[in-house]
Every structure is written in C-alpha cells, then in structure tokens.
C-alpha cells in the first residue's frame, strides 16, 4: 500500500513506546492529501498500516493505550474507539 503513496512529511510520532508499541503518522501528497498513513510498530516491525482521515490523526495518540490493549487482546476495539471520535 505505502509503496504507491507519496508521503509529504511526518505528522506525528510516538516519543516513547507503550508495551513495546509505537506509531508514526504521515501526511500524504495529492491525490491522497485528505488522508494520512498510520503505521503501528511492535519493536522495529510494522504490524499495521492503514489510511486514516487526516483531520482525525490526533485520535491515534489520544487512544493509543486503547489501541495497544486491543492489539494485545487480538481485538480492533482501540481502532474503533479512535475512529469513532469526532
């Protein structure tokens, strides 16, 4: 997926790991500038990458503990919480 997306600049990145997880969020260039590329890492490995509405990117760090706890439970609960916030 990200091979075909052109990243503009790093929007957000986790300063510290939470239970071994961290994230990076990239702004994208046209024609995908309304979205951001979210990458979730465990250690040095990307375990998830997906497009997320750029206007909602601050929900990722706000709910990162929910996302990580969901990952540990093999659940998408944390992603649903982050995606449902306005």
- What pLDDT does 2 receive? 54
47-75 pLDDT, tens per residue?
A: 999 999 999 999 999 999 999 999 999 99
Q: Which residue has the higher pLDDT, 10 or 33?
A: 10
pTM beyond 0.85? yes
Percent of the chain topping pLDDT 70: 94
Buried b / exposed e over 46-70, threshold 16 CB at 10 Å, is: eeeeeebebebbebbbebbebbbbb
Q: What's residue 32's pLDDT? A: 80
pLDDT bracket for residue 3 (50, 70, 90): low
């Amino acid at each position: 997926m990200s091979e075909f997306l052109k990243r503009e600049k790093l929007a957000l990145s986790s300063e510290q790991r939470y239970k071994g997880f961290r994230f990076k969020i990239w702004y994208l260039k046209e024609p995908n500038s309304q979205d951001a590329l979210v990458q979730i890492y465990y250690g040095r490995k990307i375990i998830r990458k997906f497009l997320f509405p750029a206007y909602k990117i601050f929900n990722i760090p706000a709910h990162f503990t929910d996302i990580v706890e969901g990952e540990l439970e093999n659940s998408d609960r944390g992603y649903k919480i982050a995606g449902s916030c306005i």
